[in-house]
Structure 1
Amino acid sequence: MRHTEFWERMERHLGPAYARVWADRTVIGELDHRTAQEALDAGVPPKQVWRAVWQMLELPLSER
């Protein structure tokens, strides 16, 4: 997964205005207690970050 696909998915599920805010402010335990943005900035692959987001948001399996 590329960063662009990650952000497309985030915007699809949270809306374009809220996706970046959520990624900047929501701490996810599975990402070593970092936000999605912090994890991406630290070099965590977008696919791994998405899986953590997917789990936290309790999205359908089809969105994994």
Structure 2
Amino acid sequence: MSRFWTLMTDEFGAAYADTLARGHVVHALGDRTAAAALAEGMSPRTVWESLCEDLDIPEHRRLGIDRAPMPVPPRIANEPSE
């Protein structure tokens, strides 16, 4: 679910992502909004892919933006501290 919202924010911006999820009805989601489909238990991946198809989001933008990996604290990675 968090990945879905990250993709939404990356593509549409923080303010519009929520509005779009609650207001845009997608036929492939059973004439439901993304928010309604998620609330009813539909897979976030299915919802995202359906929304992308409906809005003609190009394939190269459907995986989100590239981000550098987050550093893992040594205590979590089971590595000695420096």
TM-score (norm. length: structure 1): 0.90
Residue identity matched to 1:13: E
The residue number in structure 2 matching 1:61 is 59
Residue identity matched to 1:41: A
The residue number in structure 1 matching 2:25 is 27
Q: Which of structures 1 and 2 has the bigger CA Rg?
A: 2
Gaps in structure 2 of 5+ consecutive residues? 64-82
- Indicate the larger mover: 53-62 or 20-29: 53-62
Residue identity matched to 2:8: M
* Structure 1 runs (4+) greater than 3 angstroms displaced: none
Among 27, 34, 37, the residue aligned to 1:36 = 34
Among 8, 11, 28, the residue aligned to 1:10 = 8
Once residues 45 and 15 of structure 1 are traced to their aligned partners in structure 2, the CA distance between those partners, rounded to angstroms, is 22
Residue identity matched to 1:24: R
TM-score (norm. length: structure 2): 0.72
Matched residue count:
62
Gaps in structure 1 of 5+ consecutive residues? none
The residue number in structure 1 matching 2:70 is none
Structure in which a larger fraction of residues adopt helix: 1
The residue number in structure 2 matching 1:48 is 46
